[in-house]
Homo-oligomer: A and B are copies of this chain.
Amino acid sequence: MSASTVMSISALYDRVEAILLKAGASPVQAGALARVITAGERDACKSHGIYRIEGILRTIKAGKVKADAVPELVPNPGKAVVRVNAGGGFANPAFELGLPTLVERTRSLGLAALAINDCGHFSALWPEAEALAEQGLASMVMCPSYATVAPSGGKKPLLGTNPFAFGWPRAGKPPYVFDFATSVAARGEIELHRRAGKPLPEGWALDAEGNPTTDPQTALGGAMLPFGGHKGSAISTMIELLAGSLIGDLNSEEALAKLGTTTLLPSHGELVIAFSPEVFAAGRPGNPIAHAELLFDAIAGQGARLPSQRRFAARAKSEAEGIVLTQAEIAQLDRLLALGLDAVA
């Protein structure tokens, strides 16, 4: 028996979609979820790949996300703000539903936003940034999470890991995209230190009384810290305000209270802001897309890496050679397909 199996991207998509349908997801939910999960595996971004399926199933089973929700578009005619109510389903089909209107509105007005409300959330934000870049648009994407991060100078979990993504289109190559948690580390990295019996670096976490700790187990019962001290904390707070209060949705503390646990996927909102370089630069000398290449060249020219390059390299390999999965991963997919929601507690 070989240690790994190679699947084509489309074969993996079919398998993931079948698992989600078996677990009761409607076609619109299952399709959108399978697309982002498959994209995660394709890009060797394992933390957002098939590893996520079990958490999705557990959250469906617990009744904390609606697997058959029908997202509803509220286009707000004439406004720069488009809304999709995810109806308690996942963010991904809501984004797919809102995308064409967001693109049309951004091209027309120069700047527009998509507010997604009442959505279950488990995925990275780079798929949104990349989808807009494919349309020639720049974007910022952000959402709260559930309260696990103390504000700078504070003692208790209040902010989420609040991811922030940005995308910029490039001609004839993958876009400039970054996507990171505004916590100094992901919760999973603390868990990995715990399992390895390794202390955390200084500045990652607080204990339950709000004192600095380097013990992973203590940290998991305390609070994580934002990246970059008070500046990162301010950006995380901004995300609570823009992707929570502004769009009339939950902040991370409320999302945790509603969920009641950090072991399932939270529900809250998401904000996508899109920019048309064509409209913004109209009447100015030069071309904004070509201008940005000077900066990218200068960054790469001094040996610094552009973000997402590892992901794009993995993607090219997957597209050419398929996706490599371990036998354990294949067995897990088989088990989830056979048992559906019975596969999870």
| A interface residues with partner B (beta carbon < 8 Å) | 74, 76, 78-81, 83, 109-113, 115, 117, 138, 140, 150-156, 158, 166, 168, 176, 178, 180, 182, 210, 227-235, 237-238, 240-242, 244-249, 251, 253, 273, 275, 277, 279-286, 288-289, 291-292, 294-295, 298-299, 302-305, 307
Contacts and interface: CB of A to CB of B under 8 A. Distances in A.
A50 B132 CA distance: 44
A329 to B, nearest CB: 29
B111 A292 contact: no
A228 B230 contact: no
Nearest to A156: B302
A202 to B, nearest CB: 12
Contact of A79 (B115, B210, B279): B279
A110 to B, nearest CB: 4
Given A154-B299, A229-B227, A246 B277 contact: yes
Contacts of A237: 176, 295, 299
A269 to B, nearest CB: 9
Contacts of A78: 109
B280 A241 contact: no
A248 B112 CA distance: 19
B302 A150 contact: yes
Contacts of A74: 283
A185 to B, nearest CB: 11
Nearest to A147: B298
A110 B216 CA distance: 44
Contact of A280 (B81, B285, B298): B81
A80 B248 contact: no
B292 A245 contact: yes
A116 to B, nearest CB: 12
B81 A279 contact: yes
Contacts of A230: 180, 307
A267 to B, nearest CB: 14
Contact of A112 (B80, B138, B286): B80
Contacts of A115: 280
A223 to B, nearest CB: 10
Given A83-B283, A299-B154, A292 B110 contact: no
Contacts of A113: 110-111, 275, 280
Given A178-B234, A234-B307, A80 B111 contact: yes
